[in-house]
Structure 1
Amino acid sequence: MPERQHHIAFIVNNYPPKVGGLEQHVFALAKSLVKLGVKVTVVALGRDIGDWDDDGLNVVRLRATPMVAGVISWPLPGTTMRLTRYLRSIGVTHVSTHTRFFPMSVVGVRAARRLKVPSIHTEHGSDYVRGVSPLVGMASNTVDRTLGRYVLRTATKVLAISESAQAFVQQLSGRRAAVFHNAIDVAAFTGVEPELPAEKLVFLGRIVPGKGWERALAVASKVLPERPGASMHFIGDGAERASLEAAIAPLPFRDRIHVHGYLRSPEICRILSGAILLNPTRLAEGFQTTLLEAVAAGAAVVSTPVTAAKYLAERAPSVVVVDDDDDAPWIRATGRLLADGWAPAPAEFIASFDWAERGLEYLAVLDEQ
């Protein structure tokens, strides 16, 4: 495909190989735009300073402070000025930033203003930060109401990856964001033969406070003794992994509960295929790609009423929303799915999740600016 006149710079804190939903969103979106002939540069913070070509995608790493809690670091003083000069020298026409509280989002919108080019901010959060200490919560809320609000109000265009993120943008900044749903590589999650045993429960996400691994284990603790062929799989890692493993150790059916840590997409797909994904999160989620991956893999989903679950439940009979603080409704919903089975989502609906579709949507946004 011929190269287009656009040259977009993604200005972000973190980028793969760091693992996370936001990082994967930026990576997949950038790759989809390259396939459409758009010139793309990614500028991120990191230890390996320099720039290199990643299959047609230019990646630049800048020096930063040490990372705090494995999540956030800060650019060094003078980064906005140096970045502005660099972006001008390579002919950038658009700037893309992601999530309002990251320091590089502030740097990105400021650089775009100095360059007099459009900035497109995508908001991935649907609420103030949850599942943290009161002190951290107060600090993060202060950042949201100052720097976060500045980013949302300064960007030329604001996108939100879900309707709840859209409402949060309105609440925080008074701006109306356009919804730009998350996506996945559909081909990677379809047509895969399920692993045996067929009766599988899966928790897919970080093993951290608020993600609900405790409830997933409670459901497994009720279901597995009654179904000798069933197994439970925890995919992910985090600060509470040791607590999870300690809770599993005394269980008589512990040999059927597997804690995998982080896995690559092909391995995740083989486990998800034919499984039931338990998603008991209480965090302020954006639009969880794990739910899209599960539906594409032919899995059923039992979830709290997060945006992605409500969206999918209206369109896919395999998705069940459980709005209850008690374990019992989760156990009943999971038991019904194991007993009765479920119909897969229509193929055309699954195809709408694909990054190829979302890349075209984002290109239309670039064309409008």
Structure 2
Amino acid sequence: MATGGRRRGRAFILIALILILLLVLAWAVVRFFAPNQLPTAPGETSAPPTPVEEMTSIVISVQPISRGLEFNETNVTTIPYPKKDLVEGAFITDIQEVLGKRAKFDIEARTPITMTMLVDPTTKNSPAAFQIPPGQVAITIPVSKLSSVAYGLEPGDHVNVIVSLLLVDIDPGFQSKLPNNTGVVVAPGPSGEGGPTTISASVSKTDSLSGRTELDPTLGQPIYVIPSEPQRPRLVSQTLIQDAIVLRLGDFTSTSQQQAQTAAQQQPTPAPATGQAQQPAEAPKPDTVTLIVTPQDAVTLNYLMLAGGRLNLVMRSAGDSQRIATEPVTLQFILDQYNIPNPAKLPYGLEPRLDQFPNTIPAFPSTGSTFTATPQ
């Protein structure tokens, strides 16, 4: 009995020692072979730890900002931005560099603010002056619906300027339009039998125009031909300026006027009365366009406006900066270029006669009969 008890005691001690050794071995594995240091199976790679991305902040607009308005806490803020993607000097990271400055041009909402968008309020220049490239100037010309692409122009558009002129022949000495008027010169001497004697020649003006002598082909006699009407001007059109930039449509507004307009837009509009639809107010159409051109082109435009030339703007394709030489257009050019013949003088014609184009053309033109068209 005693021998059996001692054998069981040794067995318990041996089992306890084995358990202790297993615990020590497990602790050693955990301690010296961490999960990120354990060898991986063949063909497997351990996933690298996710790096923490360093962030900075940039200043953006939180609402549309009109040109000339002041930046403040209500229209700009800061947002996080990856520091590795930030190009030095591209965006503004300190909002204090923006507050108090003014917008050089219109800025949309959620637009990162850059130094090129800022105007120092202490500067003496107009905000529009910062939009004019060095070496160029801005000049304003009058426009209408037809000369401004049906009011489709916007600031920043590129345009060509076409000029149309009416040319006439003038007398080089008198600098007056031809033909000259004629007059009768009375030589000095007695004016008639028993009349006074003049010592100098006198000139009396007549209402007839100066003409020319031609040989009549039928009679074979010289005849004196005078014009039946004053001289008709000759029309010519040509491209004057290419790739001018539109700076502004209509009048410029001061900073105080822009602030007042913005405040009025932010005010809630009263609801229309029941059964009445509110009609939106139509914006006035601009009657002027300010263009950015070279100084020489500005002088040319100034001369043509004073001389009465007709200016017409045509819109260019976005991104198109090429210059294409054009031919001046006259009546002869149109007839030759588009193969329009000069109608022959025939021994017959249409009735009724047509001396000019009518303002409106009826749906069923009549030749003077009593037939009237009935609307269907």
With structure 1 as the length reference, what TM-score do the two structures score? Answer: 0.17
Q: Which has the higher helix share?
A: 1
Q: Tell me which structure has the larger Cα radius of gyration.
A: 2
Where is the strand percentage greater, Structure 1 or Structure 2?
2
The normalised TM-score by structure 2 is 0.16
